[in-house]
Amino acid sequence: MKYAIVLPDGAADEPVDSLGGRTPLEAARKPHIDWISTNGRQGLVYTVPPGFSPASDVATLSLFGYDPQVHYSGRAPLEAAARGIEVAPDQLVFRCNFVTIVDDVLEDFTAGHISQREADLLIADLNAKLGGRSLRFHSGMSYRNLLVAHDATEGKLQCTPPHDIPNRKVAEYLPRGTGAEWVISVMDKARAILAGHDVNLVRRDLGENPATDIWLWGQGRARPIEPFEKRYRVRGAVVAAVDLIRGIAKTVGMDVLDVEGATGFLDTNYAGKGAAAVAALDTYDLVIVHIEAPDEAGHLGDADAKVQAIERIDEFVVGPLLEKLRTFDEWRILVAPDHPTPVGKRVHTDAPPPFCMAGHRVHAVLKRPFCESAAASSDLTIDLGHELMEYFLRA
C-alpha cells in the first residue's frame, strides 16, 4: 500500500461575503480534491483537544497520529529539532519572532516578511549583545527564529502567539506567570538593540515594516517521541518548508525532503513540492506534504489569496499525487487541513476542520465536493484527532 497525505494548513474557513457567502474551499476550483471527496469519504476531525489553543503545533501533532495530551511539550522544541539544535534537559526553547510594534499595537507579526539575510544579521547582533552562556539566539526562516535559555524556569509561564493578536495592544498579551518578568526583560533589551539597527533604518527608508521587537512564545523542553515507523509500521517522508512541520517529522524519525523555492508563504514552490512528493512514493510507503500558504492568507485576511492557494495545491500537489498513486495496485490519499484560519478573523479557531480520503477499500458515501458544510453533514467524525492516522492507514 502507498499512502499520501496533503496538509493544506489553515484551509478551513467560514462563509466570506466577498466570495458570495462561500468559504474559500467552496469557492476554489479544486477538481482533484473534489474527486477524493466524491469517490471516497469526508468528515470532521477534532485536531485540538480540550484545554489546548488551536495552534498548528498541537493540531499537526494530532494529524501525525500523536496525542498532544501525551506528547506535546511546546512548539519551539519541535522547531529546534528541525534546525538540528541540541537542547539539554535544563534548557528552555522559545520561538523568537521578529515583529513590528507601533504605539503598543502589533502591526505585523512577520516584520514585513523580513528577508533571510536581514534576519540573520539581526540574530547575529542580538547574540553579540545579549547572548552568552545562559542565552543563545538561533536563526530560522525569515521572521521565525529561536531562543535557547539555560536554567530557565518554565512553571506556568503563559506566552501568546503573535499571529493571534494582529492589530491589538500588546500590553494586554505580554507573558504571564512564573518567569514572565525575565522573558519581558529579554524582549525589552532586544527592542533597544533593534531600534537603531542598520537593517531597520534601511527598511524604514524603503517603506518596509521594521523589526522593532522580538516576541517570545511557544516555549518548551525537548521530549522524545516514539518513532512513526515503529508506531504505525510504515516508513514515511515529509515535504515541508516551515520548521514546525520539519521538526515534528524529525522528532518522530521521518525523513525530511528539501525543495528549492519552498518558502512557507504564498509564493512557495507548489510544483516543486508536488514533484518531490511524487518521486518519494517510489521509495517510501507514506509521503506527507505540508503547505503553509492557506494559513498565511487567512492571517492576512485575504480571501482571494486563500482561494488561489487552495487551487494551486489542488493543481500542483494533489493532482500529480493522484496520478502517481494510480500506478500502484493499492493506495490511499488523505487531504486534511489542521485547523480553520478564517479570513474574517485572521486567527486560528478550534472548530473541527474537514478532511477527505479515497483509495483502496475506501467506499464512496457522501458524493459531494469537499467543503466544511459537506463534511459536517457526513456521519464520519473523528473525536480524537490523533486517531485519524490509524483510521486512514488501517480502516
Instruction: Give residue 152's pLDDT.
Output: 64
Q: Per residue in 64-82, is it b (16+ CB within 10 Å) or e — as a string? A: bbbebeebbbbbbbbbbbb
Ordered structural domains, the chain, with CATH: 2-73+225-394 (3.40.720.10), 91-220 (no CATH)
For residue 150, what are the β-bridge partners?
91
Average pLDDT over residues 131-148: 92
For residue 215, what are the β-bridge partners?
97
For residue 146, what are the β-bridge partners?
95, 138
Computed over every residue of the chain, the mean pLDDT equals 95
DSSP, collapsed to helix, strand or coil, labels residue 126 as helix
List all residues 6 or more positions away from 51 whose beta carbon is below 8 Å from its beta carbon.
none
Residue 73 pLDDT level (bands cut at 50, 70, 90): confident
Q: Is the pLDDT of residue 95 over 80?
A: yes
Instruction: Give residue 153's pLDDT.
Output: 62
**DSSP notation for 58-89:** HHHHHHTT--HHHH---HHHHHHHHTT----T
Average pLDDT over residues 299-319: 97
Average pLDDT over residues 116-132: 96
The string of pLDDT tens digits covering residues 168-191 is 999 999 999 988 999 999 999 999
Answer whether 116's CB lies under 8 Å from 141's CB: yes
Average pLDDT over residues 191-201: 96
Compare 364 and 316 and report the one with higher pLDDT: 316
Lowest pLDDT segment from 72-86, 237-251, 297-311, 378-392: 72-86
Give the 3-state secondary structure percentages of the chain, helix then strand then coil, rounded to 5.
40, 20, 40
DSSP, collapsed to helix, strand or coil, labels residue 118 as helix
d(CA 78, CA 89): 14
d(CA 236, CA 285): 6
pTM for this predicted structure: 0.86
Compare 51 and 289 and report the one with higher pLDDT: 289
Instruction: Give residue 154's pLDDT.
Output: 61
Q: What percent of the chain has pLDDT over 90?
A: 88
Closest CA to 370 of 6, 93, 54, 60: 6
The string of pLDDT tens digits covering residues 148-174 is 998 666 667 899 999 999 999 999 999
d(CA 283, CA 6): 18
Instruction: Give residue 80's pLDDT.
Output: 92
